[in-house]
Amino acid sequence: MSKIIERLKELDLNTATDEEIYDLLSKIETFPLFTRTFHKGEIIVRSRPNDKKEVFNCKSDLIYPPNPTSEYGRANIKNTISFYGSLIGNDYYSFLDNQKDLIDAIVPTITEQRFFKVSNENSIYKITYGVWEVVNSFNVAVLVQNNKYRGKNNYIDAIIRDYDSYLLTVDKDMQKHGRIVTEYLCDEFFKKVPYEQDQQYRISAYFTERVYDMSFVGLIYPSTKMEGSGLNIVIKPEIVDNNLKLKRAGECTVYRYNGIDVSHDKVADNINADGSFSFDKEGNGHGHLLCLRRLGANNYFNLLQTELNRNNIAAFTVVDKFKKIFNINDDLTKEFFQNILDTVDIEKIIMN
């Protein structure tokens, strides 16, 4: 087993053939790949950016892409369609109020997308997410057993404990092989890949195909941008069609400036039979205040002004949100933001 892993590590992924990669992965014939069953009522979150002035208002806008991809992804080969989502181990009602859950759900999926990799380090984005509820059970493989992920969050720790218990049911050689293989594969899924170097995804992409060949319909793996504290999932499109139901949609503002903040702006809890929905509920907007506090009035104002000058629709959303929160009609100034920091108890607003 170790020799196969070493050969995989030695491959030049820019020149290796698809057959060479898949053949080596196929030689990893027997190891205890952990299985997780998704049961009715569990949730998966998928997000996508609102490019330019797009407004998404239908299930088809938030489901998997309609056309096969021309690039390798972390868990997909070329010319395939995949549904990528994130997991937080909580119910969807928490998204209106729990800032950490919101960030854990949104960040893992958007940071893997092309727009995030090619955009400025300092920017504001408008994101629409969908909360998908499991209506029929299905099984996926899990790759988060590596010890480096312990202590990241309770959800991951529970999965690792389940895997450790599972290993006790197999023989010692299988245990040894399992740890060697899963630690290597976790590192492949966890590695950071620059934009336009999608060939570096080929091992994790073809392993996902291997997982599908083993009768699994999806794969859970650690989120790179969350430093292992978030979980991503990839699922076959037909499983989404038959086993998931869109339960909620929401619009968020994502700030990217020496870190990432997310603010809830609008929510749609009523999904019509034809898949359409309207944003009929206001989000709490906590992320705007948290980002202001983190950046300070000067940096926050400059970032907002830069994005307004670029006609960034997300920046105009920010302006509208602040005017609603503080019931004003005047232009937002640096002094306005400084006054918030000086006079407003942000923690009290968030707690309420």
Cα separation of 78 and 327, whole Å?
A: 50
Q: How many degrees, rounded to 5, is the angle at CA 265 between CA 295 and CA 309?
A: 55
Backbone dihedral angles phi then psi of residue 265, each to the nearest 5 degrees: -110, -50
Cα 35 from Cα 69, distance rounded (Å):
27
How confident is residue 349, by pLDDT bands cut at 50, 70 and 90? confident
Sheet strand arrangement including 218-222: 34-38, 138-142, 218-222, 231-235, 83-87, 43-49, 123-134, 244-256, 260-268, 281-282
> Cα angle at 319 between 318 and 320, to 5 degrees?
90
Task: Take residue 282 and report the two structure tokens written for it.
Answer: 């206001």
Give the pLDDT confidence of 217-235 residue by residue, as tens digits. 999 987 765 454 568 899 9
10-34 mean pLDDT: 86
- Reading the block at residue 235, the tokens are 């699922």
- Range from 69-78, 185-194, 252-261 that averages highest in pLDDT: 69-78
CA 284 to chain centre: 21
Does pLDDT of 92 surpass 50? no
- CA–CA separation, 251 and 37 (whole Å): 29
pLDDT at 152: 61
State the DSSP code for 53.
Answer: T
| pTM more than 0.85 | yes
Q: Using CB atoms within 10 Å of the CB of residue 34, give its burial: 0 to 12 exposed, 13 to 18 middle, 19+ buried.
A: buried
